[in-house]
Structure 1
């Protein structure tokens, strides 16, 4: 009997450990495209154009030593978030529990967008685990630089697709919408970076095709691993509760890496040209074995090359707390994909934020937790939201019938670090980074 009990508890422990390991379905999602003759032709044509653009970007990089996106400016990315297992009644809720849940889910989506913007622009606070001059992990990887994409993810706010049920000015967040009839593509949402939040089976945290065209494809995330914070409690599968150790929003960072045509860093090491084998990125040390949990930065070595593995990279399988960087080579590859699909991005889904962006400043920055927002021209109605790197809101206030060109903001009980300030007016949201010393 004792032996049986030990075997039983051993099996339970093994299942528990397996459930805590990151897995994704990128190759299955890509194969599903290739199995569809129509989508396969579009995908392969897009991939061929990407390969040409990638070589062009690499050639430019070799000449001038840096890489920028095609427009040499911040690229704004329209995002739509689809909570497919939530009740459709949330979309029209005007009061009570449904309204509270809807607002919570919209705020949770914005928290996830904030995390994406930090991770893809190398402004995440935990990047100091790489950069710290005394203890940073960069010392183990000479020649490896940090990737910065110069992009801004934004939840779309206007010109929504017909039949979406969204009014002009509402964020592109849907509830109970049957995205793609259960598939990973919905032609109604062409031109968007779609995020589909639903319950997944088989231990998969999320999945995305590898570098798809923008003709309605999306990234799918399990509702237990979307965003960060306490989450939103609804009924049954409508709940979205970020669950440790994948509760810092990095599952979507990882899956959007696939969407941007990045493969896993452990995709193999056959000794061939690093630009065309493994993950096709030369500054990510080659390995054929994924890494789990939270190993020390210098503790994991490739089974095929013997060099140290870049386990803290977003494209490995470690826990959220232990992945915190892209490399410059990965940013180069993602930029080439973005250049390839740039013309496919829906051009009118985002409001013009140029007025607000060009007409206010925040000072001092860095500061001690007290700063001023100053406008060149009067804004009568706007709101200010300040959140930390985990997406936790630390300050929020509405300024209605405002008659001042400046507002002082005092953050209470904040620690040192990077924070983000959202200034919202009408359908416009502009995000600025501040540093609290």
Structure 2
């Protein structure tokens, strides 16, 4: 296995986020008297992790697949995307990496250029078979302790801040580029989760009211990068970045939808719940195939995950054509 390096989703609503807000299962808080949400996809609670494990991110609540509607109305673009995939064409994604730190040492989040390049190498290694490469164009460094601690504590309880005032202020100030630009933010997520990302259709209105473009991108805990001794023991090879960029390119978790199969990819075996550790032979559904524990879109250790399926590669290329090209 590879070990290399119905409310409105407006900024005002997002800024009012309460931890794991109860509106439609999302992390976004409902205005008083609002109608129920009818989004295609939304964000839910953090899965419960075994002791010693950390969830990659929050659950995705899937009602229907926005990409299916795009396929039905854009047959030419679907054919072109699949032909490009068959021809092994490569899409180059420009990357802007934002280091959020509280000081100038690594322990305070100050990643070096070499460590950031190592993360980009991990992405290139993981996504090359699917037809994507990543070009680091710019690194920013911001020293601001309140932003660095993106997940803070309320007493003894950790609080999750997707869409919080912290995220809004940080991304308004730092986000660069267009829908094609991958903005990555590194910070401390308090060992509550490893990262989060936004799906490509969150900004089009197909999954509820569109979010402002500045939300777009990936957030990762800086200790999930391949940074040596300060990296997480089993999550420190850079594949949180791989997992979150998979979401940024339109992939769901392999376990979304449980045994009914909710990731809209035919060649990923159904999985009842997230897998932690590296449980070889795990089989939680009666449908054919063992659980896809080596897939980048599960929750296993970095050393356990090593691949996307051909179906996931096709979906990522179609998502790029539909929402990012």
Same fold (TM over 0.5): yes
Following superposition, the deviation at residue 78 of structure 1 comes to: 1.2
2:194 paired residue number: 205
2:10 paired residue number: none
Larger RCO (alpha carbons 8 Å, 6+ apart): 2
Following superposition, the deviation at residue 108 of structure 1 comes to: 0.9
1:182-197 paired onto structure 2 within 5 Å: 182-183=166-167, 185-186=171-172, 188-191=175-178, 192-197=181-186
Q: Distance in 1 between matches of 2:120 and 2:299?
A: 21
Checking the alignment, whether the CA contact within 8 Å between 1:82 and 1:196 is kept in structure 2 is yes
1:54-69 paired onto structure 2 within 5 Å: 56=75, 60=79, 67-68=83-84
Q: Deviations over 1:238-268 (max 9, x none)?
A: xxx3211011101110111111111110112
Q: Deviations over 1:102-121 (max 9, x none)?
A: 6x522111110010000001
Unaligned residue ranges in structure 1 (runs of 5+): 1-14, 31-43, 91-96, 122-147, 157-170, 232-240, 272-276, 344-437
- Is 1:85 the counterpart of 2:72 in the alignment? no
Change (3 A) 1:199 1:310: same
Q: Deviations over 1:200-229 (max 9, x none)?
A: 13621111122344922121111221x214
Q: Distance in 1 between matches of 2:177 and 2:243?
A: 22
Q: Distance in 2 between matches of 1:288 and 1:57?
A: 35
RMSD of the TM alignment (CA)?
Answer: 3.7
1:412 paired residue number: none
Checking the alignment, whether the CA contact within 8 Å between 1:248 and 1:320 is kept in structure 2 is yes
- Structure having the higher Rg: 1
1:113-192 paired onto structure 2 within 5 Å: 113-121=120-128, 148-156=129-137, 171-176=138-143, 182-183=166-167, 185-186=171-172, 188-191=175-178, 192=181
Checking the alignment, whether the CA contact within 8 Å between 2:71 and 2:78 is kept in structure 1 is no
SS in 2 for 1:52: helix
- Is 1:251 the counterpart of 2:251 in the alignment? no
- Is 1:339 the counterpart of 2:314 in the alignment? no
Unaligned residue ranges in structure 2 (runs of 5+): 1-47, 149-163, 204-211
Q: Distance in 1 between matches of 2:244 and 2:88?
A: 25
SS in 2 for 1:172: strand
1:318-337 paired onto structure 2 within 5 Å: 318-337=300-319
2:274 paired residue number: 290
Aligned residue pairs, count = 243
TM-score w.r.t. length of structure 1: 0.48
TM-score w.r.t. length of structure 2: 0.63
Q: Distance in 2 between matches of 1:197 and 1:281?
A: 30
